[in-house]
Chain A
Amino acid sequence: MNSSVQRPPLVRGGERMIAGVCSGLAAHLGWPVRYIRAGMVLAAFAGGAGVAFYGWLWLLVPTADEKTAKGAPRPASVIAPAVSGPSSGAGNGHGDDADRPGAAVPGAVRAFRAPFGKEILLGAGLLLLAATLIARQLGADVPLGTLIAVAAILGGAAIAWMQLDESRRDSLVDRARVRQAGGWGRLLAGLALVMAGVLVMVSGSGSWQQTWLALLASVAVLGGVALVLLPWGLKFWKDLEAERAARVRETERAEIAAHLHDSVLQTLALIQRRASAEQDVIRLARSQERELRTWLFGDHSRDAGRLADRIRAVAAEVEDNHGTPLDVVCVGDTDMTGRHEALVQAAREAMLNAARHGGGPVSVYLECSGGAAEVFVKDRGPGFDLDAVPDDRLGVKESIIGRMKRHGGTAAIMTGPGGTEVRLRLPAEDSAEPGDGDESKEETR
């Protein structure tokens, strides 16, 4: 028990012949997987001990996915939809994959490995069948009736159990309808095979008619049992659903608590300790305010990384580094392109200048209309003489004006005693030429 602390946990591996038991065992014990497999096969001949051991481990040892899915908290992104529409979220299948962050990659591995396992099994089965037939041909007394029944039972059990393996078990519980249909089909097929096998065996491979009658009777019995147990099953199912919903809520509450702890409580603690450093406290309060605001009022469903988000992020960065508040107002939004990235960088340079030299609050305004994306950065500093800026100062001339020109946009800097405003304009790709001319004239007047 003590030594197992240093070992990797016993989970079924992704590299698998049948169910990944041997590779998992090998990883856990630190032995080559070949030896484990050979030992397992050898043990299988010792009265089937290997098979029993293998089956036992298959049932009880979780896969690596299941292990992580159980241990890890749910990612934040799925909480909002799960809470706003629990019934729809649980009902449609695609929320299911998002629940388990690692699902996609091991799934791909599995899809690659699984066919080999199946082919080997199929091949082994066919070889066994051929051997049996040859043995019969050679005159050996093979009880074919019993063999067929046993094969049916084993095959049925395998089909039924296969689908309860790993993620398919989850999907069955999650009511993922697409895969569920296949799952039920398999379950029924497995059940039918096992029942038929058992019946053939019990009735001593008797007449077909007798078997048929027995099959009918057992189906009737099973149906009766199902009818009786259905209410219990439904109740159990509902309890399970309720518990799942409660767990989602609890996770969300924990998420909020964690966030409040991380941001608000930490900030309050820091403010108490550094109350004397006024500038630090202001900066801290400002950045935490912004973060909390984004968290509370931000639109989480919208895909991030559009122009307005980038401008806000850049403004936040400048604000953090210089302690000057930047008020950002965005009207409209657009997808980012390489040219928009240039606009963002030019705007960043303008904000840096405003924060460094302007003093007082800086206003940043982004407007995206059909024709163009425009950014205005205004400060209330003393202003400066643009012509007096030496040519070797890259800040304004190169980073703002030059960059905008290279990407087909315009930049104008209006400065005076009341403050400085940098105006950046980037025409949309298709309307770049015609709209550009008059506008730049007006802007640089």
Chain B
Amino acid sequence: MTENMSAPVRVVIVDDHAIFRSGLKTDLQDGIDVVGEAGTVDEAVEVVTREMPDVVLLDVHLPGGLGGGGREVINRCAALLGQVRFLALSVSDAASDVVSVIRAGARGYVTKSISGEEISSAVHRVAGGDAVFSPRLAGFVLDAFGTAVEDIADDELDKLSSRELEVMRLIARGYSYKEVAKELFISIKTVETHVSAVLRKLQLSNRYELSRWAAERRLL
């Protein structure tokens, strides 16, 4: 993994439940330094701008601001997206919540029931510039882009390559990146490249199915 042992990863935790924030703080393992916490949209924007952390663990549902929750935080910190990376945390299964923060610029999405070990490795991965996909997010991607390899899409952004499809399907099946790499006989680095490519497509694609799929779920 892209763990940088020399300097700890600086993290800000944004969640409106103090009990969840403190639980998450104890869960995070060595090499991660929690430099700030926030409970509302406005607090989050302020803390993130002040601290300039490497990674922001961001709850999708947040009070305050204009009511946009995590997406609003990312939008208001858009200028920092090059240096600060966001990892969305949610209890929500709703596709609308997940995809809206991803399309706003989050580098990944994990559910709140994730273990301390997994969240730590996810933080390191995001800090290293990679994307973090939970099985559910991979499922959403497959739902939106379709599960068949197709050649008809004009825009490269609007379709997944067959390799990316394979990676997504394995992640949806619960494989870790390491297991995906082993299964497909590729390196972990290549898996990460594929996942990042899928994330970019998910964020930028104007694919008809994606917009239709989003519209069906009232995302647009």
The chain A residues found within 8 Å of chain B, CB to CB, are 293, 297, 325, 327, 329-332, 361-363, 365, 367, 369-370, 376, 378, 418, 421
- A146 to B179 alpha-carbon distance, docked (Å): 98
Known: A378-B173, A378-B175, A418-B179. A331 touches B143 (CB 8 A): yes
Known: A329-B135, A332-B147, A418-B179. A293 touches B169 (CB 8 A): no
What are the residues of chain A within 8 A of B136 when measuring CB–CB? 327, 329
Q: Is the CB–CB distance between A367 and B135 below 8 Å?
A: no
B174 within 8 A of A: yes
Q: Is the CB–CB distance between B142 and A331 below 8 Å?
A: yes
What are the residues of chain A within 8 A of B139 when measuring CB–CB? 329-331, 365
Q: Is the CB–CB distance between A421 and B93 below 8 Å?
A: no
- A418 to B177 alpha-carbon distance, docked (Å): 13
B11 within 8 A of A: no
Q: Is the CB–CB distance between A329 and B172 below 8 Å?
A: yes
Instruction: Please name the 4 residue pairs, one residue from A and one from B, whose CB atoms are nearest each other, closest first.
Output: A363-B174, A329-B139, A365-B173, A331-B142
Q: A327-B174, A365-B135, A418-B179 are in contact. List 16 more A-B contacts (CB 8 A).
A: A293-B93, A297-B92, A297-B94, A329-B135, A329-B136, A329-B138, A329-B172, A331-B172, A363-B173, A365-B139, A365-B172, A365-B174, A367-B147, A367-B172, A376-B173, A421-B173
- A433 to B46 alpha-carbon distance, docked (Å): 62
What are the residues of chain B within 8 A of A418 when measuring CB–CB? 179
What are the residues of chain B within 8 A of A325 when measuring CB–CB? 113
Q: From residue 37 to 87 of chain B, which have CB atoms closer than 8 A to chain A?
A: none
How many residues from B make CB contacts under 8 Å with A? 18
B148 within 8 A of A: yes
- A365 to B138 alpha-carbon distance, docked (Å): 11
Q: From residue 129 to 151 of chain B, which have CB atoms closer than 8 A to chain A?
A: 135-136, 138-139, 142-143, 147-148
The chain B residues found within 8 Å of chain A, CB to CB, are 92-94, 113, 135-136, 138-139, 142-143, 147-148, 169, 172-175, 179
- A327 to B172 alpha-carbon distance, docked (Å): 10
- Shortest beta-carbon distance from A312 to chain B in Å: 11
What are the residues of chain B within 8 A of A330 when measuring CB–CB? 139
What are the residues of chain A within 8 A of B113 when measuring CB–CB? 325
Interface of A (DSSP majority class): strand
What are the residues of chain B within 8 A of A327 when measuring CB–CB? 135-136, 174
Partner of A378, one of B92, B142, B147, B174: B174
Q: Is the CB–CB distance between A363 and B92 below 8 Å?
A: no
- A363 to B92 alpha-carbon distance, docked (Å): 18
Partner of A369, one of B135, B148, B172: B148
Q: Is the CB–CB distance between A369 and B147 below 8 Å?
A: yes
What are the residues of chain B within 8 A of A331 when measuring CB–CB? 139, 142-143, 147, 172
- A199 to B83 alpha-carbon distance, docked (Å): 93
- A367 to B135 alpha-carbon distance, docked (Å): 13
Q: Which of A329, A376, A421 has the most CB of B within 10 A?
A: A329
- A55 to B179 alpha-carbon distance, docked (Å): 81
A-B contact pairs, 30 of them (CB 8 A): A297-B93, A325-B113, A327-B174, A329-B135, A329-B136, A329-B138, A329-B139, A329-B172, A329-B173, A330-B139, A331-B147, A331-B172, A332-B143, A332-B147, A361-B174, A362-B174, A363-B135, A363-B173, A363-B174, A365-B135, A365-B169, A365-B172, A365-B173, A367-B142, A367-B172, A369-B148, A370-B148, A376-B173, A376-B174, A378-B173
- Shortest beta-carbon distance from A322 to chain B in Å: 17
Residue of B nearest to A331 (CB): B142
Residue of A nearest to B135 (CB): A329
- A332 to B136 alpha-carbon distance, docked (Å): 13
Residue of B nearest to A378 (CB): B174
What are the residues of chain A within 8 A of B143 when measuring CB–CB? 331-332
What are the residues of chain B within 8 A of A365 when measuring CB–CB? 135, 139, 169, 172-174
- A327 to B110 alpha-carbon distance, docked (Å): 13
What are the residues of chain B within 8 A of A293 when measuring CB–CB? 93
- A51 to B45 alpha-carbon distance, docked (Å): 81
What are the residues of chain B within 8 A of A329 when measuring CB–CB? 135-136, 138-139, 172-173
What are the residues of chain A within 8 A of B173 when measuring CB–CB? 329, 363, 365, 376, 378, 421
Known: A331-B142, A418-B179. A367 touches B93 (CB 8 A): no
- A376 to B174 alpha-carbon distance, docked (Å): 9
- Shortest beta-carbon distance from B113 to chain A in Å: 8
- Shortest beta-carbon distance from A84 to chain B in Å: 12
- Shortest beta-carbon distance from A54 to chain B in Å: 57
- A26 to B193 alpha-carbon distance, docked (Å): 81
- A367 to B166 alpha-carbon distance, docked (Å): 13
Residue of A nearest to B138 (CB): A329
- A293 to B172 alpha-carbon distance, docked (Å): 20
- A23 to B65 alpha-carbon distance, docked (Å): 66
What are the residues of chain B within 8 A of A370 when measuring CB–CB? 148
- A370 to B135 alpha-carbon distance, docked (Å): 22
What are the residues of chain A within 8 A of B135 when measuring CB–CB? 327, 329, 363, 365
What are the residues of chain B within 8 A of A332 when measuring CB–CB? 143, 147
- A362 to B139 alpha-carbon distance, docked (Å): 16
- A370 to B138 alpha-carbon distance, docked (Å): 19
Residue of A nearest to B139 (CB): A329
- A421 to B179 alpha-carbon distance, docked (Å): 12
- A332 to B138 alpha-carbon distance, docked (Å): 13
Residue of A nearest to B146 (CB): A369
- A329 to B147 alpha-carbon distance, docked (Å): 14
- A370 to B150 alpha-carbon distance, docked (Å): 14
What are the residues of chain B within 8 A of A376 when measuring CB–CB? 173-174
